Chains A and B, each alone.
Chain A
Amino acid sequence: MSQTTSNVYIQVIEDVITKVREEFTNNAGPGEGVLTELQSLWETKMMQAGAIVGPIDRSAVAKAMGPGAAGANTVHDLNVPYEGPDEYETPTADLLFPPTPLQTPMQTPLPAQTPLPGTAPTPLPGTVDSSYNIPTGGTPITPSEYSSIHENGTSVRQPNTYMQPPSPWIPQAQRPPLDVNVAYVEGREDPDRLAANQANQANQPTTQDFFLLSGKRKRDEFPPQFRPGGYIPQQDGAADVIADKVEVGQGSNSQPGHGPTFSSRIPQLDGPIPDPYDDALSTPNIYNYQGVVNEDYNVANTPAPQEMQAPTPAMINQNEDDDEDEPLNENDDDDDLDDVDQGEELNTQHLVLAQFDKVTRAKSRWRCTLKDGIMHINNKDVLFNKATGEFDF
């Protein structure tokens, strides 16, 4: 870093600080201490960046620039900065952080209550305080408390709209076990209730999947349990009715959650279903895939109808078709990105910022005259008053 550049930078800093001082020290301003902090931070960053050679120059320049102002600054350097930052930063930290924590606890208890199907509605309608009390102290909810809460919950119906309908069914049989993880409990006891709940709770399929997977049950045992709780029955039923209607209007990339779309794939699947599921059973990933997300399942099934046996290859084929187009575009983008990346590297490595007086071109010969420029080249800052450029294009 050239000495001249460093000196100019120091003088610019001094000039800026001097000229904004009034804004800082007037009634509405944050005060001289903040200004001093600004200057010290700025200079520190400049020294770290190597743009200012050293503090010695700065002090020298500062003294040279204005003894009175420099003296005032040094006084403030000793006293104000330490108090100022501490006073400001501490409260600001408090101010900044609270919002996050506030939101977090709000959200946390809600989901915590949600798993408690019967109870969830109750705490929500009640005061916020009660909702907080329940999750913290009362994770284990005694049946009596639960029943009382539940009564309240029934009395106040608002949350029920948010909660799954199954809540009324569950409480009677499952109140005590629901304390911790409702989903798992339900999954275990579900066989009786699956038919009723399957339409209501989306979580159950997942629960079953994990349960079954963890149990490593054989395929023979699977179908009966899988069908009652799984997607298949819904698909089959819906497929028969809606499939024909839907196929006309909807594309292959239909959105998840739409029953019709879902079903549209199914009728074709009905034939192949046993095979895919056999494969699915043997392959955990696919199975989770199906159980957890409906969207993916739709996508996966979409190709399946086209080719009987293997949904996977079918899907690959389609993807390949899509990918064939995308890679071409991506490659084009990559070419552009290469330039962009290089440009970004330029921003950090070699950059000239200036004003132009004149830019001319004769055939492929470019000439430009620049003035008042800052160059950052090979990790050095160089200032110039005038510059001439000659480029061949």
Chain B
Amino acid sequence: MATFELYRRSTIGMCLTETLDEMVSNGVLTPELAIQVLVQFDKSMTEALDSQVKSKVTIKGHLHTYRFCDNVWTFIVQDAIFKYDETQENVGQVKIVACDSKLLTQ
């Protein structure tokens, strides 16, 4: 199963990365095993998002920058409005990074 490393930049991914870094630098973990854990995280996170999350979000705003490189879309949206679960969040500027979902299914 193909996986994205995309989610490693999320809070949970960063926490895991920091943990692994510490344990590797302490000599507790081998770098190879740490990478295995990260790959497993990629899978688990993707599966969880696909199977356990049902919420929908709408995003509106002014597109400041768009970029499509290596099958990754990057948007920088200003004055963005997020609507989900009957709540609304206003953000002055947000960065959206999205990988091609078709790459996972292939």
Contacts and interface: CB of A to CB of B under 8 A. Distances in A.
A388 B11 CA distance: 22
Interface residues of A, number: 72
Interface residues of B, number: 69
Nearest to A357: B101
B48 A11 contact: yes
Nearest to B60: A390
Given A381-B11, A384-B53, A12 B44 contact: yes
A95 interface: yes
Contacts of B45: 12, 374
Interface string A3-23: 010001101110110011001
A248 B44 CA distance: 68
Interface on chain B toward A: helix, strand, loop, or mixed SS?
A: mixed
Interface string A42-73: 10011001010000000000000000000000
A38 interface: yes
A353 interface: yes
A366 interface: yes
A38 B37 contact: yes
Nearest to B59: A389
A393 interface: yes
Interface string B20-53: 1011001111100100110011011111111011
A207 B106 CA distance: 73
A46 B12 contact: yes
Contacts of B55: 4, 382-385
A43 to B, nearest CB: 8
Interface of B: 4, 6-7, 9-12, 14-16, 18-20, 22-23, 26-30, 33, 36-37, 40-41, 43-50, 52-63, 65-66, 68, 73, 75-77, 80, 82, 84-85, 89, 91-101, 104
